[in-house]
A and B are shown apart, each in its own frame.
Chain A
């Protein structure tokens, strides 16, 4: 009975999202959504994350749907649920200038169910099913605006995600026969004898899975959906897309590497090196393209491409510092990037600007938004005392242990940090220091939409969070240490 509690956090948003489609009064919808998301967080806190399993149903053959609760799942699930709640508060106010709000929020809530499903998945089949479900549900967030541009972007998103997942599936088929069990076990589940005889096949399968699941995480070569999908989606949707949904690709990759193949099998193979090289290239490429991009949200999307690859870099190092850094970067990037997209949303909402060069003087008009923006930016660059610095520190220490490729990776991290500074700080500088001669009337809009505390609150919470986490990263120890301790004991 205790175990079926695991089903609750998955089903709650999936089922609870349905009535939202029919709720047309804003107050009621707001209260309902907030209540539901708070309940979701409470449910997740109630779960005893000690590796218990819940067998839901058998599909065919040995394939079955299993939910499990372990430390890694806890980290991801709590992160997702809490940020989903914070963004929803912002979204409620932001979406007032868009149509079809009920539809948006319906899919918004339901997608959370699929994300929690991925976090709680106990084996690859379950993970894959929820993964596809997430793609299908979140497409509606991307195409919400309904313009032909949005629909094109949605199709692109769908295409890349499905192709990626298919590649993953291909790997799964091959992997299936070489496992002792289908569950996620720290240290891997490969059959020792078969792992030796089928080594080259398994490596190809691993490569396919990493590239496939990397599509969601925005790694070369399947990253191109990100810069297309993010700018057209409503800002709260881009926030969760960029901050959290890309992280599901990361989660899938951690599961594959650490819980299916195992560190011992992966480390030192060509797969590790090739993917690591791809990831390092992505880090550089994302930052460089962001620097050259002039649309704010698109620039942030490219930035995500680069930043999520920081996480993957840490994961592929296959050592304890690297993984710690990766998990920290995961949390910090999620917080900062959610915040950045919310800030971009607030800018669109209040002064109708989407280009980076139009933001001169915005700091005077939107002080809290731009202050938060500045703090998120500092964290993305990795300037102490914001959080990004801590994760970068661990990533670099992990990287230096690996040898030449790691050293190159750390150097690229630094170059990327410089590029990050180059594409974010001028925005901050221009918005706060437009020049003594600047006329603020230029920013006034005929139709004023005021930013109230429902929009400022979430941004402030995230901004304060990023600083507090930077000063006291130990606050996350209870989430991160169990994972690394288990994987590198």
Chain B
């Protein structure tokens, strides 16, 4: 039964994709219902799988090496999140897409992407992971480009480039891993890796494999696709992109960090560096952003940094990794739940205002208490306000860093810096969420806003779906030991975490202190930096100028010139040299052969009168010139000289 469920979860959406297309050609309403039912069934299957325990299934020979799927606590949980995300976003899509073109095409790839994502989460070996990873990358590309507006096309270009390059580099890494280890089975990677003698080769393979996964997760320096792609995609698509799809990258990184490089100190340092840079950088970008969806996207980058930091602490802490493991898993869950609400909620705003620009949606939420709750609670949760679920995972991650400082006093200085970076990034999270909240819900709207008079802004279905999801957050946050610890236990098998010695006291002063420091930093940043420097106050109210220096954009500053101009130039130079040598020789030979001849060519349309090719102008002077004879003489002389030299 569970085996059937596994296959059902992975392949059911693919089977339904063409069906939805066919239905959509007949009736659009029917298709919407159909897709909702499909994702609903997927959700039901995910819940069933969760309750039915561990299972594994292999399809030998498929795609060459055979596909393997397995279900354990972590995989089931991730699949469940994916299914919830898709179901919720599908419900939201109906309203969001009410006036959109090409919806049929969109739904096909929507379901294909679901297959890819679930396939990654349920994969039992890296080969399967990679196959579905690619399916997902390419299928979700259609979601990014869907609107076909210029910025969407540009964002999709970047997305595709990152996906292709990342995918190929990862594939190269997987080739090497398979060659070194002889297996790609996730559960046996650890043993195979500890038997490998050449550590260098393993590291090369591991780092190469990391690239594609890190790119998908949105880790620095490959995060460039994320802000633009998320802003360009339709809001429900951004929700699953941010809430679920980038977690497939995390899945790959987890496989590397908890299997191949389990408890490896150096690997932990690499991940820590990536994590810290990503979380601070993403947060800074989010603070500067003046676009609602872009802020949320940059926030995703930052939160991925938090998760990476958690993964790094798992490697560093070795057998004491209980808190890091729990924190990582919970932060994955929390970030997914927050973004699965905030992006569709942004979509709700867009449906009325047709823009995400903070200057134009300013004050939209005034007098809309339900929307305020639906957006305010996830924002506060992500900022780490005690009593909500985000606080729990952040506390665990923070504690794991503190624990390491106590365990290894030699590096206490470095890790105190890491701790402060962590708190600072958390503070920035609070600051940009505060900025969004105040902009949307507190400040008054501009007078010319065309939506100002409208009362109704969303359907009951949409708001009901969102409100239902939001209601879970305080429950999770207020009963952490009951709900959150149970969730965290699901991840321990996969990540090889030890169970904690005693249940964590989330509301102890020591833990609350970290959160309060972060929140204070947040308020300070908002009051001292955002208010004076990133906003302009005039007679019509507050406006948000774009103060981010364009020069600092990695994409236009480094990647595009490098990949579109410099590298192709160098490559083409080498290719053309080889081609030129061959073509040049041929030209030389034909010049010698046809010297003094004109070639008669009789085109078929003119059979009575033979037409003569005009003499090729470029080489005429050369052919009959004195210089030509001299060159030939020179070649002859030098050949003679060579002969004499070598003979003597």
Contact = CB atoms under 8 A, between A and B. Distances in A.
B62 A410 contact: no
A384 B134 contact: yes
Interface string A458-474: 00000000000011111
A411 B172 contact: yes
Nearest to B130: A384
Given A289-B579, A473-B64, A433 B156 contact: yes
B156 A288 contact: no
Given A289-B575, A397-B175, A429-B145, A384 B131 contact: yes
Which one of B156, B169, B604 has the greatest number of beta carbons of chain A within 10 Å?
B604
A252 to B, nearest CB: 21
B168 A284 contact: no
Interface in B448-485: none
B368 interface: no
Contacts of B490: none
A235 to B, nearest CB: 20
B576 A289 contact: yes
B601 A223 contact: no
Contacts of B172: 396, 410-411, 414
A288 B575 contact: yes
Given A288-B574, A410-B172, A397 B179 contact: yes
A16 interface: no
A342 to B, nearest CB: 23
B15 interface: no
A393 B165 contact: no
Count chain A CB atoms within 10 A of each CB in B153, B171, B604 and give the residue with the most. Answer: B171
Interface string A220-240: 111110000000000000000
Contacts of A394: 64
A425 B493 CA distance: 41
Nearest to A475: B61
Interface magnitude class on chain B:
35 or more
B61 A285 contact: no
A421 B586 contact: no
A473 B63 contact: yes
Interface string B142-158: 00010111100100110
Contact of B164 (A222, A418, A433, A438): A418
SS class, residues of chain A in contact with chain B: helix
A146 B125 CA distance: 56
B613 interface: yes
Interface in A469-489: 470-474
A391 B151 CA distance: 36
Interface residues of A, number: 50
Contact of A151 (B61, B169, B576, B601): B601
Contacts of A385: 63, 131, 135
Interface in A282-307: 284-285, 288-289, 291-292
B578 interface: yes
A410 B175 contact: yes
B568 interface: yes
Given A220-B578, A429-B160, A148 B603 contact: yes
A285 B165 contact: no
B575 A285 contact: yes
Nearest to B179: A400
Contacts of A474: 61
Given A385-B63, A389-B64, A471-B62, A433 B134 contact: no
A224 B586 contact: yes
B99 to A, nearest CB: 13
A154 to B, nearest CB: 12
A434 B148 contact: yes
A443 interface: no
A365 interface: no
A344 interface: no
A159 B586 CA distance: 10
A314 to B, nearest CB: 14
B176 interface: yes
A393 B164 contact: no
Contacts of A125: none
Contact of A291 (B61, B147, B568): B568
B153 A284 contact: no
A320 to B, nearest CB: 15
Contacts of B61: 472-474
Contacts of B63: 384-385, 389-390, 470-471, 473
Contacts of A470: 63
A23 B123 CA distance: 58
Interface string A414-441: 1001110100010001000111101000
Contacts of B164: 381, 418, 421, 425
Q: Which residue among B167, B176, B603 has the maximum number of chain A CB atoms within 10 Å of its CB?
A: B167
A151 B586 CA distance: 16
Contacts of B101: 436
A158 B603 CA distance: 20
Contacts of B169: 414
Contact of A288 (B135, B149, B572): B572
A434 B150 CA distance: 10
A24 to B, nearest CB: 18
A388 to B, nearest CB: 11
B350 interface: no
Contacts of A146: 603-604
17 contacts: A156-B586, A288-B568, A288-B571, A288-B574, A289-B575, A291-B571, A384-B130, A385-B63, A385-B135, A396-B172, A419-B571, A425-B160, A429-B156, A433-B145, A436-B149, A438-B148, A473-B63
Given A285-B578, A285-B579, 16 more contacts: A151-B601, A220-B578, A224-B579, A284-B575, A288-B571, A291-B568, A385-B131, A389-B131, A390-B64, A396-B175, A410-B172, A414-B171, A418-B168, A419-B571, A435-B150, A470-B63
> Would you list the 7 A-B pairs with minimal beta carbon distance, nearest first?
A288-B575, A390-B64, A384-B131, A285-B575, A474-B61, A400-B179, A436-B148
Interface of A: 146-148, 151, 156, 159, 220-224, 281, 284-285, 288-289, 291-292, 378, 381, 383-385, 389-390, 393-394, 396-397, 400-401, 410-411, 414, 417-419, 421, 425, 429, 433-436, 438, 470-474
